[in-house]
Structure 1
Amino acid sequence: MGPEACFVVSLKNPDAVAAIVAALRHLYGDEVARLMLVEGMSLANLIDAMFSAPLTHREAIRAITDGLDDFVISPDLGRMWHLRYIYADEPGSLHVVDMEIATPSGTLVSKDVWLRLSS
């Protein structure tokens, strides 16, 4: 094997992760995107990157939601947690603007949730 090592990662939602990786690369470039995936990023950073990507808003939210299963989430949420969507202020709006995670011990806002791609 040459100087570049090959790693095989089994993903639960490869299409969602591919959309996340593409959005991070689009906004930050290859090196920073790689660092964010390996070292971690906040859920808020991921949401911002996805909303900046050339995706529809609905596609961005779906990729985040589907892709969470492939990330290690910190702090440890335990077995019971629920992803909540924060909608725009317009009455009857279904336009998601943020997310938070509800647990039995409290609610974590997106900037307090840390994500790192599972290895």
Structure 2
Amino acid sequence: MYLSEIGLEKAEKGLQHIFDIEDEKVRKNIKDRRTNAADKRKIKIELVYEPSSDRDFVTISYSIKSDLAQIQGGAIQVELLENGEERPAITENRIDGQVDYRDLTVYKDGVIQGEKSHED
């Protein structure tokens, strides 16, 4: 018996088809830049043979499971504003005393405080 023949009568549930699905998951996980490239991935195939009492037949149960690399998390700093709102904090590459553009006052004509209006 060939592995590709197991479950062949159920095309969408055959061993080869299920393996192809899990193999695709592993390949996508390897390409995912949010995972550690060095982590090993696995595909586990389990076959269970259950013979009939007269030993004339055997039921073969099969399953496939993939173990993928974990997607790496991260951290973000959130600024809590006095008005109760929050926004992602800009912390990298910031110079002491630098003004956050989100704190500038924008007037009705779209001009930011400190710039000259087009009407001047």
TM-score interval w.r.t. the shorter chain?
A: under 0.3
**Greater share of helix:** 1
Q: TM-score, normalised by structure 2?
A: 0.26
Structure exhibiting the larger radius of gyration computed from Cα positions: 2
